Amino acid sequence: MEQVSSPVDAVADNQEHDAAGSTALKKVFVKTYGCQMNVYDSERMEDALTQDGYVKTDDINDADLVLLNTCHIREKAAEKVYSAVGRIRKIKEKHAKQGRQVTIGITGCVAQAEGKEIMRRAPAVDLVAGPQTYHDISKMVARAEKGERVISTEFEIEEKFAKLPAPTKKQTIARGLAAFLTVQEGCDKFCTFCVVPYTRGAEVSRSVNQILDEANRLADAGVKEVTLLGQNVNAWHGSLDGQKWNLGELLYRLSDIDGIERLRYTTSHPIDMEQSLIDAHRDLPKLMPYLHLPVQAGSDRILKAMNRHHTKDQYLQIIERVRQARDDMAISGDFIVGFPGETEEDFEETLDVIRQVKYASAFSFKYSPRPGTPGADLDHQVSDEVASERLTRLQALLREQMTEFNQSCVGKEIDLLIEKRGKREGQVLGRSPWLQTVVVSGDASEISKTLRVKVSEAGPASLNAVRI
Ligand code: SAH
Ligand code: SF4
Ligand code: F3S
């Protein structure tokens, strides 16, 4: 799940700022952990900092400011932060001996959940900022640089989106043809295993106008594929001209924007799978035939204990309806094994869901008890040994299905949006409608074009295709 933020054209931005007459530019290095919402937030923070005189660097050893945008979802994710801080502290000490100041900031969900503890455990950290405070990132950094230890974990989500600066056209272009657009943040579902409602706060939807403005700006900068983001993206709701909209209506409207060729959205919750969203899959060619719909578990007893608000059959019926709307839908999911009280029979129900749905892709995890969530206090925690054994079986089944899905694509003709050069000379890459990487012969001049290709071969990590 870990993702690293993409490099930005630091040299070009540097010149832009020099021309504006600012003095020596400081360098910021941002490392992003966790979900795509963090990737989006990291980009917005980079936009704010570069507009306030920083340039981006991809070399941590050369940075004046290091931001770790963190994830708290599982124990391992949170522990990574402390080991990363240990490594950066050494860089900070080395630079200090040469009279160069390095400021360390922790942002994201670990900052929100454990801000005070970070400050106590890691004296090298200068700044702790939760996900709803990023509109103030430049000011907070400036205070930290003056020697103050800054901690900010308030919830002011409307402020965040209203005040974060938009990227310049140049910044957007440098990030490539596919962009994320956060439309909804936070969660009111309170699944008993999950920290997100505590780290991201209550569900908040951005306004239709804010979203359309941002989408038009992306299209204007040449972005061709937009992925709408939210912890519960399909819980997004808004209104325009007195009419209530949900995600389906929003997608119809976004589909009218010239230049945007592909739309995606993630992550959805089964109970918010409204009919208009399913209809959008039937009606909108730009909406890619891919649905990430986590189920977590297959047993009704465990689903209830997880507070998921639906049964196994209801989930299967939703998948059925989605496939009726568009028969080439690829389904992906998230699974947790070893939730407290999970028996072998319960686990078999999860395998049964997988067998019935036939997933194209999936993320699967051992249950990790998170401090402060109801799940952590439940009796009958499953032993690590049993959970590991179940995870191995579940992943073997999912791997089989993924291979089968990739094989089933061989012979299909698809539109391929060429996004970048391939690893080998004379190859370019794009993604299929079902999110697989597709390799085809071609050269860099074809980047941003959409080619009609036929899938010729399925490898373990990508598809090969030939032009038609
Ligand atoms: N909002 C999304 C998921 C957010 S977290 C949803 O409702 O589906 C991403 C995934 O991490 C979850 O789908 C779940 O599979 C996993 N996850 C969350 N908390 C976890 C925990 N305590 N232990 C193990 N996996 C967890
Ligand atoms: Fe977490 Fe559940 Fe909310 Fe998803 S819906 S973010 S799993 S509490
Ligand atoms: Fe992790 Fe926070 Fe996303 S806990 S998964 S970074 S919402």
Helices (H) and strands (E) in the chain, counts: 15, 21
Which residues in the chain are classed under CATH 2.40.50.140? 413-467
Per residue in 256-291, pLDDT (tens digit) is: 999 999 999 999 999 999 999 999 999 999 999 999
Q: Which residues pair with 106 in a beta bridge?
A: 68, 128
What spacing in Å lies between the alpha carbon of 307 and ligand 2's midpoint?
A: 10
Closest-lying ligand 2 atom to the alpha carbon of residue 190: 8
111 and 150 Cβ atoms separated by less than 8 Å = no
Report yes or no: 102 and 65 within 8 Å, Cβ to Cβ.
yes
| Cα 23 to ligand 2 centroid, rounded to whole Å | 45
Q: Report the distance separating Cα 344 and Cα 351, nearest Å.
A: 11
Name the least confident of 20-24, 94-98, 321-325: 20-24
Residue 168 confidence (pLDDT) above 70: yes
Termini Cα distance of the chain: 35
> What is residue 211's predicted lDDT score, i.e. its pLDDT?
96
Q: Give dist(CA 324, CA 327) in Å, integer.
A: 6
**Which residues line ligand 2 at a C-beta cut-off of 6 Å?**
187, 189-191, 194, 196-197, 231-232, 269
| pLDDT class of 11 with cuts at 50, 70, 90 | very low
Q: Give, for ligand 3, the residue of 39, 72, 132 to mutate: max count of ligand atoms closer than 8 Å to Cβ.
A: 72
Ligand nearest to the CA of 297: 1
What is the number of the ligand 2 atom nearest to the C-alpha of 188? 3
Q: Which atom of ligand 3 lies at the shortest distance from residue 200's CA?
A: 7
Residue of the nearest CA to atom 24 in ligand 1?
367
What DSSP character marks residue 244? E
- Measured from the alpha carbon of residue 294, the closest ligand is 1
pLDDT at position 248 is 97
Q: Return the CATH number of the domain spanning residue range 413-467.
A: 2.40.50.140
Does ligand 3 come within 6 angstroms of the Cβ of 34? yes
85, burial (CB in 10 Å: exposed 0-12, middle 13-18, buried 19+): buried
CA dist 171 to 33, 179, 380, Å? 21, 12, 51
Question: Rounded to an integer, what distance in angstroms lies between the CA atom of residue 187 and that of residue 231?
Answer: 6
- pLDDT tens column, 18-62: 334 445 789 999 999 999 999 999 999 999 999 999 999 999 999
Q: Distance from the CA of 85 to the center of ligand 1, in angstroms?
A: 25
The strand pairing partners of 467, in sequence order, are: 453
Return the pLDDT at 155. Answer: 81
Which residue's alpha carbon is nearest to atom 1 within ligand 2? 194
pLDDT digits (tens, 9 = 90+) for 71-91: 999 998 888 999 999 999 999
What's the rounded Cα separation, in Å, for the pair 433 and 416?
Answer: 8
Residues forming CATH 3.80.30.20 domain(s) in the chain: 160-408
213 Cα to the center of ligand 2, angstroms: 28
196 in contact with ligand 3, CB cutoff 6 A: yes
Which pair of tokens denotes residue 397? 């089944």
Q: Which amino acid is at 206?
A: R
Per-residue confidence band for 392, with pLDDT thresholds at 50, 70 and 90: very high
In sequence order, which residues have a C-beta less than 8 Å from that of residue 37 and are 6 or more positions away? Answer: 131, 182, 185, 200, 229, 230, 231
The alpha helices in 234-383, defined as continuous H runs, are 247-254, 275-283, 300-305, 312-325, 344-357
Contact 199, 33 (CB under 8 A): no
Q: Atom 2, ligand 2: which residue's CA is nearest?
A: 191
CATH number of 7-156: 3.40.50.12160
Please indicate whether residue 72, judged by its CB atom, sits closer than 6 Å to ligand 3: yes
The class of domain 160-408 in CATH terms is alpha beta
The dihedrals phi and psi of 102, each to the nearest 5 degrees, come to -120, 125
Residue matched to tokens 């997608």:
251
Instruction: State residue 6's pLDDT score.
Output: 33
Q: Which atom of ligand 1 is nearest to the CA of 366?
A: 24
As given in the structure block, the two tokens for residue 137 are: 């990132």
Ligand 1, atom nearest to 369 Cα: 22
Chain position carrying tokens 């204007």: 220
Closest residue CA from atom 1 of ligand 3: 71
Instruction: Report how far residue 253's alpha carbon sits from residue 249's, in angstroms, rounded to the nearest whole number.
Output: 6
Residue to mutate (ligand 1; options 35, 336, 388; most atoms within 8 A of CB): 336
What are the start and end residues of each CATH 3.40.50.12160 domain in the chain?
7-156
199-254 per-position pLDDT tens digit? 999 999 999 999 999 999 999 999 999 999 999 999 999 998 889 999 999 999 99
The residue whose two tokens read 């794009």 is 430
Q: Tell me if 54 sits within 8 A of 20, measured CB to CB.
A: no
